[in-house]
Copies of this chain bind each other. A is one copy, B any other.
Amino acid sequence: MGKAYDVMAATCPSRTVLHRIGARWTVFVVTALADGPMRFTELKARIEGITPKVLTETLRALETDGLVHRAALGGSPPRVEYSLTPLGRSLWVPLQAVRDWAETHVPEILDAQARSEAAVGG
């Protein structure tokens, strides 16, 4: 059985999907929400350096793709809770592996960068 979708094909929709996954802040939001539902301000605090605008954009995009659920709970002050959908939770698995890899191999990459900078004549 061949696969229905192939990332190597120029027009394959999986490329769009991959692009979304690779967006700067997607991995952070999914990682944060993997610990449980969270409110906007909580997310903003946890993901250091993210601006409210970008956080909103990222959440909307993930919501559109069915990865994140947004629950407005009314009341005052307003309460909005974001959570991963089952699809989002399934994405978390490979994303966590990537995150893990990144955190684990930082020293090797820093080393390689230093070495190639030295080779060029830094």
Please report A residues at the B interface, Cβ cutoff 8 Å: 3-10, 13-14, 17-19, 21-24, 27-28, 31-32, 46-49, 63-67, 87, 90-91, 93-95, 97-103, 105-106, 108-113, 115-116
Pair A17/B66 contact, Cβ less than 8 Å: no
Pair B64/A106 contact, Cβ less than 8 Å: no
Main secondary structure, interface of A, reads helix
Copies of this protein chain in the complex? 2
Distance in Å from the Cβ of A39 to the closest Cβ of chain B? 17
In the complex, what distance in Å separates the CA atom of A100 from the CA atom of B103? 22
Pair B99/A18 contact, Cβ less than 8 Å: yes
Known interface pairs A97-B94, A98-B94; A103-B27 also in contact (CB < 8 Å): no
30 sampled A-B residue pairs with Cβ under 8 A:
A4-B103, A4-B106, A7-B27, A7-B99, A8-B31, A10-B48, A13-B106, A14-B102, A17-B102, A18-B27, A18-B98, A18-B99, A21-B98, A21-B102, A22-B22, A22-B27, A63-B116, A64-B112, A64-B116, A65-B109, A65-B113, A66-B109, A67-B112, A87-B108, A87-B112, A90-B105, A91-B105, A94-B94, A94-B100, A97-B98
